[in-house]
Amino acid sequence: MVMEIFNLRKLLVPVLIAGLCAVFYVNYTGWELLAPVSVGGINMDHMMQVDHFSMAFSALSIFLTAMIILMGSDFYRNEQHHLSDYLSIIVFILCGTLVLFSFNNLAMLFLGIEIVSISLYIMAGSKRFDLRSNEAGFKYFLMGAFASGFLLFGIALVYGSTGSFELAKISTYVEDGNLSPLFYAGCLLIIIALLFKVAAVPFHFWSPDVYEGSPALVTALMSTLVKVSLFAAFYRLLENGFFGAYAFTTPILMWVTAATLILGNLTALFQENFKRMLAYSGISHAGYMLMGVMSMPAQSESALFFYASAYAIASIGVFAVAIPVFLAQRNEGVNAFNGLGKRNPLLAALLTICMLSVAGIPPFAGFLAKYYIFSQAFQSEMFGITLLAVITSIIAVYYYFRVIVAMYTKEPNDTEVKPAPVYWIVLWICVALSIVLGIFPDSLMQLLS
């Protein structure tokens, strides 16, 4: 923002990328230290806790933010006077996600979610003269504010029954037994709010409209960085705070997961708009990640982290192709990809790799991601939901292959797609990581083991 004042817009993206690299390095060097969080010499561990879980997800979120900012340098090329605004809001969203990875207090959970949510309300409606963007921002704001009310009310009820906002004290209260109806009500409201934020059925209704109406780069941001951060927060809350209430939370999440897997995958089959299809795909992936959240007795944080990494990296790669295609064709339908394999074979081949990884096809990272999640669920004796997940994964292959078939069998569109260099950079990085993690998964799986 300071650079904007001095009209140094050309340096905005390089400085931001350099800053993110520096933050990534600091996060990396702190892996063995795990120093307590302190402000002015005062220990703040009761508010924020730095551990390997938070540091691993923080590294992933910093990487995803760097990829989004790289693509944003071209995406906003016609809005240079607003570039610093957009990039600042993306960095604010990153700050909110870092809070969600490390919170040790329900007040910090609320703060992290609101930092992310309020920034996204602005980004979703950032195309002021586009009615679909206006609708997306307004819908997201209304629904998100309602969900935040549920979250705050639930936190208040949990505080009323436990006498604390701290996860450690809440966990102690739960383990002691004799839980009050007030606690159950608060726990249920918090879970409902988080299920809304991750777009799980039946709280998913906002997601397709917001994904479709938002600018494509914002859709990429919501479906990767934001979704990953909210699932990490969900896992952290249940493991560190509500773990003793596992018998209460599991049946709720079981039914939600089943509905999410079925509705997300079946509805995606009939979508003609590419972003709307990815919205329902994201809903189905929320179901798979909920399986990782429910498998906590099996210590499933490694599987959840690997799944989040594989899904987010491949999805960023998909958008690195989709955004220039949308801009060139002025069309966001699946038919915008018609004949891409004939006009630009390399671009189509790289998009195919990313789509196959998201679909969970070997030998790419997405296949092992699903394998680890399903294995953890099976170890937790969730046989029925695991079988359902396998069946819905097979169904999902169809709508991913619709795009691949369109690229290689349909007649090419009139306009040729020529992505800017930044899209190629992001795409090659994502494809390389999807292949490497599919061959050497232990590099991530051993981080949290």
311: closest CA among 347, 283, 332, 337?
283
For residue 37, pLDDT over 70 is answered with no
Q: What pLDDT band is residue 299 in, cutting at 50, 70 and 90?
A: low
Of 122-136, 180-194, 305-319, the one with minimum mean pLDDT is: 122-136
384 versus 39: the higher-pLDDT residue is 384
Q: What's the rounded mean pLDDT across residues 369-373?
A: 91
**Surface-to-core class of residue 38, CB atoms within 10 Å of its CB (0-12 exposed, 13-18 middle, 19+ buried):** exposed
pLDDT of residue 129: 79
**Surface-to-core class of residue 218, CB atoms within 10 Å of its CB (0-12 exposed, 13-18 middle, 19+ buried):** buried
State the chain's mean pLDDT as an integer: 88
Q: What's the rounded mean pLDDT across residues 145-158?
A: 92
pLDDT of residue 79: 79
Cα–Cα distance between 117 and 152 in angstroms, integer? 14
Cα–Cα distance between 3 and 203 in angstroms, integer? 41
For residue 38, pLDDT over 70 is answered with no
pLDDT of residue 204: 86
pLDDT of residue 179: 84
For residue 50, pLDDT over 90 is answered with no
Q: What's the rounded mean pLDDT across residues 29-49?
A: 73
DSSP letter (8 states) at residue 413: P
pLDDT digits (tens, 9 = 90+) for 185-204: 999 999 999 999 998 988 88
pTM of the model: 0.93
User: CB of 237 within 8 A of CB of 194?
Assistant: yes
Q: What's the rounded mean pLDDT across residues 158-187?
A: 89
CB atoms within 10 A of CB 347: 23
Q: What's the rounded mean pLDDT across residues 341-362?
A: 91
Q: What's the rounded mean pLDDT across residues 376-383?
A: 86
> CB neighbours of 150 closer than 8 A, spacing ≥ 6?
189, 190, 192, 193, 196
pLDDT of residue 136: 86
334: closest CA among 256, 278, 394?
278
pLDDT digits (tens, 9 = 90+) for 19-33: 999 999 988 888 777
Q: What's the rounded mean pLDDT across residues 74-98?
A: 88
For residue 108, pLDDT over 90 is answered with yes
pLDDT digits (tens, 9 = 90+) for 257-271: 999 999 999 999 888
- Residue spans of the domains in the chain: they are 2-445
Query: Which of 34-38, 41-45, 199-203 is predicted most confidently?
Result: 199-203
pLDDT digits (tens, 9 = 90+) for 232-260: 999 999 888 887 777 888 888 899 999 99
Q: What's the rounded mean pLDDT across residues 203-207?
A: 87
> Which residue pairs, CB below 8 angstroms and at least 24 apart, start in 252-256?
252/188, 252/191, 253/191, 253/290, 253/293, 253/294, 254/294, 254/382, 254/385, 256/195, 256/200, 256/201, 256/202, 256/290
Cα–Cα distance between 101 and 234 in angstroms, integer? 10
pLDDT of residue 225: 92
pLDDT of residue 60: 93
pLDDT of residue 427: 93
For residue 2, pLDDT over 80 is answered with no
Q: How many percent of the chain have pLDDT more than 70?
A: 97
DSSP letter (8 states) at residue 344: -
Residue 350 identity: L
For residue 449, pLDDT over 70 is answered with no
CA distances from 362 to 113, 221, 292 (A): 35, 26, 20
Q: What angle do CA 35, 441, 262 make, to 5 degrees?
A: 100
Q: What pLDDT band is residue 39 in, cutting at 50, 70 and 90?
A: low
Q: What pLDDT band is residue 45 in, cutting at 50, 70 and 90?
A: confident
